[in-house]
Structure 1
Amino acid sequence: MNIGLVRHFKVNCYTKMFMTSDDFKQWVKQYDNSDIIENKFEIGNIIWHKCFSSDLSRATKTSKSIFTGEIIKTQLLREVPIAPIFNTNIKLPYVFWCISGRIAWFFQHKSQIENKKDTQRRVNEFLDSIKNESNNNILIVCHGLFMNTLQKGLKSRGVSGQNIKRHKNGTLYLYKK
């Protein structure tokens, strides 16, 4: 069984350098609904039987661009939601909001919609749902932080492959069971 992990194509979304907490919330919504910027994609020399995709538009559009068969969309593959760690009208750097939100997720801070344990539960639920696919080569199209957690989940189940810290958009990463 081959498993191909693909992070969605880049998102065409403008980012202001400084934002209030409300600005950041609005930017997250805008990002989730923005179009993608396709890049040249190498599918590899593997016949892919199935494609599982996050149901967020950037992932489904990427899936449709790289896979011609049926695409199985699921909320289980969605990106880890991000929220401001506090409310303020002071404009802070965009990078601050992103980094602090991810640190808050890691430490299970109440400001985040989902914490690290919740994400790990989603990964395990998804991996349990595909355990009967051992005769198929499957593509999985999802998102950056989620892919890191998914990659760890695959390895804990005996799947071998690259250990990537920062997945590039629109790139295939191959794993084998």
Structure 2
Amino acid sequence: MNIILMRHGKPTFSGAAKVTSREMADWVKQYDISDTGGDIPPQSAIALIEKEPIAISSTLPRAISSLQTLGCEPALVDEVFKEAELPLYLVPGVRLSPFHWAVVYRLLWLCGLSRQAESLKMAKARAARAAVMLVELARESQRPVLLMGHGIINRLIARELKSLGWREESQPGKGYWGAGVYSVR
């Protein structure tokens, strides 16, 4: 029995090269409604679906479209698997790339500054619920389970799976289509 935690493919939305912190809020909204268009998964991602896993997805379009690109139809789409929110702060007079803003905001989030966004503690609790759902589905079906999710939440779910006695067969990659595989000890 395996649980595969895969990060979605590259979203079609890229937006402006540099944005203000005020513009970053709109950038995040656009990113969240973006799908992956024609992004092609690597052979390593395709190989993970050879055993025809039960496909599960976050509610965000980039995750759903990634599953569809792999030829998988999600058996379950649930918000419990969506990415942890970024807290957005106004920093006047500064223009950064969205990537750099995301790094700054994620570091603030990891330090406990979540503003109106979901806190790290709340995200960990949600990841615990998600891990239990995945384990129950794997045990009931006796089939591999593939979650098409996101970078941070997948890492939090992975920690929970390990605390539940699942062994990490391969570490999740950090890029698009990166996947970690977990099995029962």
Q: Per the shorter chain, which TM-score range? A: 0.7 to 0.9
Provide the C-alpha distance between the structure 1 equivalents of 2:104 and 2:29, rounded to a whole number of angstroms: 18
Secondary structure of 2:51 counterpart: coil
* One-letter amino acid of the structure 1 residue matched with residue 86 of structure 2: I
Instruction: Describe the shift of the 1:42–1:21 C-alpha distance in structure 2 as closer, same or farther (beyond 3 A).
Output: same
The 10-residue stretch of structure 1 (71-80 or 125-134) with the greater mean CA deviation from structure 2: 125-134
Deviations 1:6-37 (A, max 9, x none): 11011122243432222100110111122312
Secondary structure of 1:11 counterpart: coil
Provide the C-alpha distance between the structure 2 equivalents of 1:143 and 1:18, rounded to a whole number of angstroms: 23
Aligned position for 1:105: 109
Instruction: Describe the shift of the 1:92–1:122 C-alpha distance in structure 2 as closer, same or farther (beyond 3 A).
Output: same
TM-score normalized by structure 1? 0.87
Deviations 1:106-127 (A, max 9, x none): 1221425012111111111112
Provide the C-alpha distance between the structure 1 equivalents of 2:107 and 2:75, rounded to a whole number of angstroms: 33
Matched, 1:151 2:158: yes
Instruction: Describe the shift of the 1:160–1:67 C-alpha distance in structure 2 as closer, same or farther (beyond 3 A).
Output: farther
Equivalence map 1:5-44=2 (5 Å) = 5-36=5-36, 37-40=39-42, 41-44=45-48
CA contact (8 A) 1:63 1:71 kept: no
Aligned position for 2:171: 163
Q: 1:141 aligns with which of 122, 125, 148?
A: 148
Aligned position for 1:173: 180
The 10-residue stretch of structure 1 (142-151 or 46-55) with the greater mean CA deviation from structure 2: 46-55
For the aligned residues, what is the CA RMSD? 2.1
Aligned position for 2:55: 51
Deviations 1:29-76 (A, max 9, x none): 111122312334423375234111101000011112224354310000
Instruction: Describe the shift of the 1:8–1:21 C-alpha distance in structure 2 as closer, same or farther (beyond 3 A).
Output: same
How much does 1:173 deviate? 2.7
CA contact (8 A) 1:6 1:139 kept: yes
Equivalence map 1:49-128=2 (5 Å) = 49-84=53-88, 86-94=89-97, 95-128=99-132
Gaps of 5+ in 2: none
TM-score normalized by structure 2? 0.83
- Please state which structure has a larger fraction of its residues in helix: 2
Secondary structure of 1:83 counterpart: coil
